[in-house]
Amino acid sequence: MENRNQHPISIRLKVTETCPWTCKFCHKEGGWQIDDVTWDTDTRLAMERLMRHAHVSEVHYTGGEPTVLNGLGLLTAGLRGMGLTVKTTTNGQLTPAKLDRLYGSGLRSFNFSMHTLDPHELSGIQRHMGVEAARLAISLQQAAIQHAVNIGAQVKINTVISGAQDAGRAVSIYEYAKRSGVLVRFLNDLNKGQTAIDVIDSICRDQLTATPVWYQQKPGTSATTTYYRDNDGYEFGVKGIRRCRIPALCAGCRETCTEQFYGMRLEKRDGIFWVRLCLRRQDDKSLMPLADFVRSDQLKQILQVTQSGVQTGTQYSELAN
């Protein structure tokens, strides 16, 4: 189990837009037309800037599917050599041998995005994937999860819940994770608002008869996790979103805000590193070259919120009072 009281400042690094899957709900982390990120002088200088100015100590790969990036091992080894912790989200379409190589390069934490254990369902949420291909994809994913556990990696399974129709598959994934000794986290579909939150609440309390025991929030971001414990003592998480606004970014915003300020995202386009602060906007307050970001009011305020917003490892019952 991870140490819940460590909260590094993390950046989501969009390493590639390539992905073998075509999930209909993919938000593309804010948009494509990005370059692949490789380990080179530009990347090292960008990370040095982020470490110095934004106190970043953790890089979380996203995409696209990070594990399809050529050179991900070299990138990881380079970032690890700078003292950064490196984690990834993945759909788990990688062989045990590839997983071993990535682990060996210093990538020790894998968040597997699992949609379903049913090939028909997986095929249904993909734009282009037949049922047999979906069956193979699910077995590849399960083999990768098992292998990651066996080699001692930190493993989590994330699954998104939109509404009541997802309850059955969410419980199946919870049972699979419990059997495998892996932490599962339910994520509410941001586009479904309170509906998804209510469904997750009902699954946890009524179907799984679990009790909330810990609440955790990432300082300086909207990300929260409530940890539940079931009758067998198995703990699992429910990701949530709290109100978190950055005035230099959010003042006067007219968007329907579903994610609040979730954290910094880094992407490379036309050879330049850009920082993206909001998935719903694409203007000079929310998307700027890294060179401008490190001097921006947005960064000053993010650091202020980060320093003032620490509330971690709190017993859930204390919060309720």
The residues that touch ligand SF4, with contacts defined as CB under 6 A, are 245, 249-250, 253, 255, 257, 260-261, 278, 280-281, 286
Single-letter amino acid code for the residue at 305: V
Contact between 94 and 100 (Cβ < 8 Å):
no
Q: In terms of CB distance, is 60 or 281 closer to ligand SF4?
A: 281
Residue with tokens 């045990």: 96
Q: Smallest gap, in angstroms, from Cβ of residue 257 to ligand SF4?
A: 3
The DSSP bridge pattern shows strands 154-161 and 183-188 to be: parallel
Contact between 305 and 247 (Cβ < 8 Å):
no
Q: In terms of CB distance, is 142 or 260 closer to ligand SF4?
A: 260
Q: Smallest gap, in angstroms, from Cβ of residue 93 to ligand SF4?
A: 31
> What is d(CA 57, CA 41) in angstroms, rounded to the nearest whole number?
19
125: closest CA among 27, 23, 28? Answer: 23
Q: Smallest gap, in angstroms, from Cβ of residue 260 to ligand SF4?
A: 5
Contact between 170 and 115 (Cβ < 8 Å):
no
Q: In terms of CB distance, is 77 or 303 closer to ligand SF4?
A: 303
153: closest CA among 315, 319, 2? Answer: 2
Q: In terms of CB distance, is 68 or 223 closer to ligand SF4?
A: 223
Q: Smallest gap, in angstroms, from Cβ of residue 79 to ligand SF4?
A: 27
Q: In terms of CB distance, is 197 or 257 closer to ligand SF4?
A: 257
Q: Smallest gap, in angstroms, from Cβ of residue 283 to ligand SF4?
A: 9
Q: In terms of CB distance, is 26 or 257 closer to ligand SF4?
A: 257
Contact between 303 and 242 (Cβ < 8 Å):
no
Q: Smallest gap, in angstroms, from Cβ of residue 27 to ligand SF4?
A: 13
303: closest CA among 60, 53, 46, 58? Answer: 53
